[in-house]
Amino acid sequence: MTTLADIETPAALIDEARMAANIARMQGHLSSLGVRLRPHVKTSKSIEVARRQQAAGAKGITVSTLKEAEQFFAAGFADILYAVCIAPDKLDRALALLAKGCGLTILTDSVAGARAIVAKGREAKHAFQVMIEIDSDGHRSGVQPEAADLIEIGKVLQAGGQVVKGVLTHAGSSYDLDTPDALQALAEQERALCVRAAERLRAAGIACPEVSVGSTPTAVAARNLSGVTEVRAGVYVFFDLVMSNVGVCSPQDVALSVLTTVIGHQPEKGWVIVDAGWMAMSRDRGTSKQKLDYGYGAVCDAAGRVIEGLWVSGANQEHGIIARRDGKADAGVVERFPIGMKLRILPNHACATGAQYPAYLAVSADGSATEWPRFHGW
Amino acid sequence: MTTLADIETPAALIDEARMAANIARMQGHLSSLGVRLRPHVKTSKSIEVARRQQAAGAKGITVSTLKEAEQFFAAGFADILYAVCIAPDKLDRALALLAKGCGLTILTDSVAGARAIVAKGREAKHAFQVMIEIDSDGHRSGVQPEAADLIEIGKVLQAGGQVVKGVLTHAGSSYDLDTPDALQALAEQERALCVRAAERLRAAGIACPEVSVGSTPTAVAARNLSGVTEVRAGVYVFFDLVMSNVGVCSPQDVALSVLTTVIGHQPEKGWVIVDAGWMAMSRDRGTSKQKLDYGYGAVCDAAGRVIEGLWVSGANQEHGIIARRDGKADAGVVERFPIGMKLRILPNHACATGAQYPAYLAVSADGSATEWPRFHGW
């Protein structure tokens, strides 16, 4: 049996019990609101993780790249939504996956994108299943719910023999909020504007059966999802320090951590040097503008209990610096954190930290660790 | 022949001509100063890149992980310096590599670390080649050049039958400078303090033949390296926008770029949405506190010519937002940057951006592209 003591550092650990609780919580919440959950697997890029989400009741998956679609389809996931507006020259790769039997849905938010899909669909004699991306909060992509272009996109697709499967939005500005009222208001805005877009399409004679919304914060905050058919959320499976600052989890819920080893000290400064630098944590500093800045991560003992008052104050490629958050020199670090000691670091952003590793080590309640591969690249 | 038009995006391109010029420039400079160059291959993690550095005259390589040591040794690189203080439980992995014939040198900066090396060396009947890390600028690890511990570390190693190969320092605070005078002063400080540490060890009867210094900025700035035997530098092979702000290259020297495709627009805001998000660029925002903030990267046309006035203003996992740096809405973006158009983005930090990819595409003068694998993980 592999245990923590056998693991070479740095390593990405999944606390299986915490992950199971996170999965159960989100699935229970959305089931109680009467909508399906289509988890975004870009967070884990792990077949083992996604299987646990499906076993808990999720319907289908969301992906951010065609490589994710290919990898998950090869592992038996057939209902896949590629939730990034497709570049025209990726349509052949999508067709190859469809030809193998994958139930792939693609996305566009422009008339030019719709025309490219129609051209490729006609050439291949294929009716793509297409969602139209709606901009519900101004943070990134999507057509405005009241725009003339929304109807034009629908008509171009329909007239071109493609299937308008529905509308999709992602209120990613939820990451910038940190009060329950603001989150609940944005969740309602996300819902209302996406439903409104669907109603406009239907009034124009375009069927639009699906209404897909979501981000982890708005999914947690939502109290009414009428008109919505499915919710997409990703990072909830692990949670992270950014989500803790947003207020949708606590640090004790965070299921992903980085196991690290003490490799040195600067005793006068009270610094502990560990072998988890930014390559192990990622360069994500998502908490830097939030109410509690965690530096490159929150420091825990090897069992995962947060050590209050410390943070990873700096990081080079393979060096992390642990120091007191208040800037004072921590006393006795050489004795309290001896060379060779193991610590765990909770990440700012689980999606970014996970991406630094070829595999996770899933730690179960008995302390045994099992390797769960994840993939990398496009 | 694979050309730019055939490459799926996002992709990490190496401009071979620029890289060759960067290699020749650093090698020529250090050869003229009479020291060896031991490139840090953590930047590229690519056998093909390191071979070109060796062919130009580099002697040995520097690595930041034992996985790098293993991969480069398997590819024929025998003289390898692992330049991170070794965790005691990694010594068995180092011994396995030594047993295969690898000329591996390890590092420590503490008496406790030296004792762990001695204990393992005695157990394995092996004399490790050990460098002692010196702190020359206070930015991270290393023992102070005047500390009593420096001599104690040397004596523990020597008495324990290990080989004190030399002293090593890395003035990484050079990344925070941006004037030639300040860089030259820090290069001299790095040299002088590391040479001083070697002299103290020698005066105490410890041979210490090697004096190894370096960071890309101090290596470029150094004018006198007397007493130094080798210089380590990494990012110079590609250069990047952080190095451009430091003042040791220009954006036109940056040999690594990310090829991306336009996937959408927000015409009212003047935004162009591309398929290079933070997964493609990394989360590194190293230019954010420098004199010119490049956001998530500098925007170039497909041939690699910088388009002035634009930057990657924001990034989600698989979405980048290109906007005007001055915050004004760029006019006519739909027509000027149509969906499907290819662009290139120069990275803030080449080490971090490269790490997001399983392979580079090396583009030669005739426009042909060849895949150069790189590796990932520990």
Reading chain B (378 residues) residue by residue, the pLDDT tens digits are: 788 888 999 999 999 999 999 999 999 999 999 999 999 999 999 999 999 999 999 999 999 999 999 999 999 999 999 999 999 999 999 999 999 999 999 999 999 999 999 999 999 999 999 999 999 999 999 999 999 999 999 999 999 999 999 999 999 999 999 999 999 999 999 999 999 999 999 999 999 999 999 999 999 999 999 999 999 999 999 999 999 999 999 999 999 999 999 999 999 999 999 999 999 999 999 999 999 999 999 999 999 999 999 999 999 999 999 999 999 999 999 999 999 999 999 999 999 999 999 999 999 999 999 999 999 999
Instruction: For chain A, give the number of residues.
Output: 378
CB B100 within 8 A of CB B73: yes
The pLDDT of residue A296 is 98
Residue percentage of chain A with pLDDT more than 70: 100
CB atoms within 10 A of CB B138: 12
Q: Which residue among B8, B264, B321 places its CB closest to the CB of A109?
A: B264
To the question of pTM greater than 0.90 for the whole model, the response is yes
Sort out which chain B residues have CB atoms less than 8 A from A11's CB and list them: 378
Sign of the dihedral defined by the CA atoms of residues A172, A173, A176, A179, in that order: negative
d(CA A155, CA B252): 45
Q: Which residue among B84, B318, B349 places its CB closest to the CB of A263?
A: B84
d(CA B152, CA B161): 14
Nearest residue on chain A to B378, judged by CA atoms? A10
d(CA A111, CA A108): 8
User: Any idea which architecture B17-236 has in CATH?
Assistant: Alpha-Beta Barrel (3.20)
* B273 at A interface, C-beta within 8 A: yes
d(CA B86, CA B97): 14
d(CA A298, CA A209): 44
Q: Do B338 and A87 touch (CB under 8 A)?
A: no
* B284 at A interface, C-beta within 8 A: yes
What is the ipTM score, two decimals?
A: 0.97
pLDDT digits (tens, 9 = 90+) for A164-212: 999 999 999 999 999 999 999 999 999 999 999 999 999 999 999 999 9
Nearest by Cα to A276 from A293, A290, A256 = A256
Sort out which chain A residues have CB atoms less than 8 A from B42's CB and list them: 317-318
Pick the CATH number of A251-373 from 3.40.250.10, 2.40.37.20, 3.40.50.720, 2.40.10.120: 2.40.37.20
- Let me know if B55 is exposed, middle or buried by CB neighbors in 10 A (0-12, 13-18, 19+): exposed
Sort out which chain A residues have CB atoms less than 8 A from B374's CB and list them: none
Class of domain A17-237: alpha beta
Q: Do B317 and A351 touch (CB under 8 A)?
A: yes
Nearest residue on chain B to A114, judged by CA atoms? B339
* B376 at A interface, C-beta within 8 A: yes
Q: Where are the domains of chain B?
A: 17-236, 251-373
Cβ contacts of B48 within 8 Å, gap of 6 or more: B362, B372
CB B72 within 8 A of CB B41: yes
d(CA A238, CA A8): 22
Q: Which residue among B135, B284, B319 places its CB closest to the CB of A283?
A: B284
Domains A17-237 and A251-373 alike in fold:
no
The pLDDT of residue B258 is 98
Q: Do A266 and B377 touch (CB under 8 A)?
A: no
* A11 at B interface, C-beta within 8 A: yes
Put simply, the chain B residues between 317 and 346 with a CB less than 8 A from any chain A CB are: 317-319, 321, 334, 338-340
Q: How far is A273 from chain B (nearest CA, A)?
A: 7
pLDDT digits (tens, 9 = 90+) for A226-283: 999 999 999 999 999 999 999 999 999 999 999 999 999 999 999 999 999 999 999 9
Q: Which residues pair with A155 in a beta bridge?
A: none
